[in-house]
Amino acid sequence: MWRIALRLLFFLLIVKPFFLLMVGVNVRNRERLPHQGPALIVANHNSHLDALVLVAMLPLPLLSRTRPAASAEYFLKGGWRAWFATKVIGIIPVATGGGRPHAEVLGEVRDVLQVGDIVIFFPEGTRGEPESLGKLKTGIAWLAQQLPAVPVYPVRLQGLGKVLPKGDWLPVPFFCDAWVAEPLRWEGDRQRFMAALTASLGG
Amino acid sequence: MISVTLTSPAAVVLGGVWVLLLVATVVVWRIAPAPGSELRQRIRGWWMIVALSSLALVLSRTTALVFFGAISFLALKEYLTLIPTRKSDRRVLFWAYLSIPMQYYWIGIEWYGMFIIFIPVYLFLLLPVAMVLIGDTQGFLRAAGTLHWGLMSMVFSLSHLAFLLVLPQGQYPQISGLGLVLFLLLLTELNDVAQFCWGKLFGKHRISPTVSPNKTVEGAVGGMLTTLALSVLLAPWLTPFGMRDALFAGALIGVAGFFGDLSLSALKRDLGIKDSGNLLPGHGGILDRVDSLTYTAPLFFHFTRYLYF
């Protein structure tokens, strides 16, 4: 309970005012975003701010049921960062790399979706260079195939990699954009699914 | 302190602006019946601008300074978002943003000497020092030059608007800083609108086809004459100007506004974009709205200060 309260306070008092007053994020087609779970929100990834802005875009009542999938290796190193990521933000740790089967790596993400939560997912797997989409990994297609009833909402983000790039801690204000694309659903063909997703994310 | 009473000339003029906008809204709803049309959006944008600036100006001097500081911040942020910047300059850009509260603080404590040299002298020298200490020489001149141009336009020039509020008004008890600000804002923005309208109605001969193809001789001349007339009409209410200076101020705002607009058009053309952003419905970005002010504010300020304060 106190975790949800802390998360609510963090988003209301810090994240939302920061994006509204300091950064200025222009969300195109916000009405397309889901109003309830389960749903996968999928975006290109350049900055730690990506997950925060995607959570902040959703209606506040969904906050307690929205979980970003994030690298276990990076966020579970222990200390303050691990506490904050798991307890306050509520990440689902994903052990990337190692060539293990999808079911093992993404099993927890699937379970979270199955109970009706919203998952924020970055199919590039890691933060790439700003404004250039890296090759998408196929884990997202596996998730969509496992849960064909769950809609996938692609959101293309631009500018956040300039505000807070990889390896820096000081945010610098720039206007940013977020384009919400039409939701995708699994239709049985992995290549078509990946191509449609890549196109929606500006690749 | 700004003292606004309901009967002060500035308050009457401000009320007039609301009436004018109400009339314009009715007219636009008649001639542009389609909801969501560009003209209707533009009127909506004007309501946002007029409501916010009225509130900020009437409440207190502090809210007015914070409001102008926020405009400088948005304008600088839009500019830095549009132009190419170097990743190595992130710290320098951070310092550049911090100069905004400092510049408006000098105005708040009425320190004219610091207000007038802080950006043109100190930041001009210090920000390149910060770049040199970081050590990236690739594109140094371009980075230092473009950043300084942005600070001069969006922070230094625009902040002159705010300094009008704190000019010592002892010799002219009937004139308020608020009146001078209203005079400059109204004339600059109406000059833009009038040039646009005259151009739409009678525009034939293009002035600068390479920079801004919509600007015509007819629009510019019509707009300037409208601004002259408005200046003569409003000056006795809001300024200490006699007839001669009212005419001169009107001409100054008309010409400067025209070139401020063109200089931002040249910037947008250079970068290959149409609107600078999408902060204001129907207007584009904030730079599309303050472009003329970056020229009129410092010129009008120094004209007024030299002759009267």
A129 touches chain B (CB under 8 A): no
Cβ contacts of A172 on chain B, cutoff 8 Å: 90, 93-94, 97
Angle separating helix axes B158-166 and B61-82, nearest 10 degrees = 170
Edge-first strand order for the sheet with A92-94 is: A25-28, A176-180, A152-158, A39-43, A118-121, A66-71, A92-94
The interface pTM score, or ipTM, of the predicted complex is 0.91
Q: What is the mean pLDDT of residues B233-259?
A: 94
Q: Tell me the shortest Cα–Cα distance from B297 to chain A, in angstroms.
A: 25
Domain-by-domain residue ranges, chain B?
60-166
Residues of B in contact with A162 (CB under 8 A): 85
Percent of chain B at pLDDT > 90 equals 71
Q: What is the pLDDT of residue B7?
A: 64
Could you tell me which chain A residue has the CA closest to the CA of B83?
A: A174
Q: Which residue has the tokens 């141009």?
A: B149
Nearest CA in chain B to A164: B90
CATH code of residue A46 = 3.40.1130.10
Q: Nearest CA of chain A to the CA of B174: how many Å?
A: 37
Q: Identify the pLDDT of residue A43.
A: 96
Domain count, chain A: 1
Residue of A nearest to B80 (CA): A174
- The pLDDT assigned to B38 comes to 81
Give the pLDDT score at B5.
63
Residue A131 at interface with chain B, using a CB cutoff of 8 Å = no
Chain length of chain A: 203
Q: Do A173 and B277 touch (CB under 8 A)?
A: no
What is the gyration radius of the CA atoms in chain B, in angstroms?
20
Residue of chain A with shortest Cα separation from B95: A172
The boundaries of the domain holding residue A149 are 2-200
- A172 to B90: CB separation less than 8 angstroms, yes or no: yes
* Arithmetic mean of pLDDT, B134-155: 96
Mean pLDDT of chain B: 91
Given a contact cutoff of 8 angstroms between Cβ atoms, the answer to whether B308 and B110 are in contact is no
Question: In terms of pLDDT, which residue wins out, A28 or B3?
Answer: A28
From the list B202, B234, B233, the residue with the least C-alpha distance to B219 is B202
Interface residue A134 vs chain B (CB under 8 A): no
Assigned token pair, B160:
């002159």
Residue in B77, B93, B94 closest to A175 by CB: B77
What pLDDT score was predicted for residue A134?
86
A168 contact B CB<8A: yes
Choose the closest CB to B94 out of A165, A170, A175. Answer: A170
What is the share, in percent, of chain B residues with pLDDT greater than 70? 98
- pLDDT tens readout for residues B177-227: 899 999 999 999 999 999 988 998 888 888 888 888 888 989 999 999 999
B271-302 pLDDT per residue, tens: 988 777 777 777 778 998 999 999 999 999 99
User: Would you state the pLDDT for residue B1?
Assistant: 44
Q: What are phi and psi of B20, to 5 degrees?
A: -60, -45
DSSP A21-83: III-EEEETGGGS-SSSSEEEEE---STHHHHHHHHHS-GGGGGGEEEEEEHHHHTSSHHHHH
Q: How many whole angstroms separate alpha carbon A105 and alpha carbon A98?
A: 10
Q: Taking the C-alpha atoms of B233, B179, B98 and B136 in order, what is their torsion angle to the nearest 10 degrees? A: 20
CA atoms within 13 A on the CB side of B232: 9
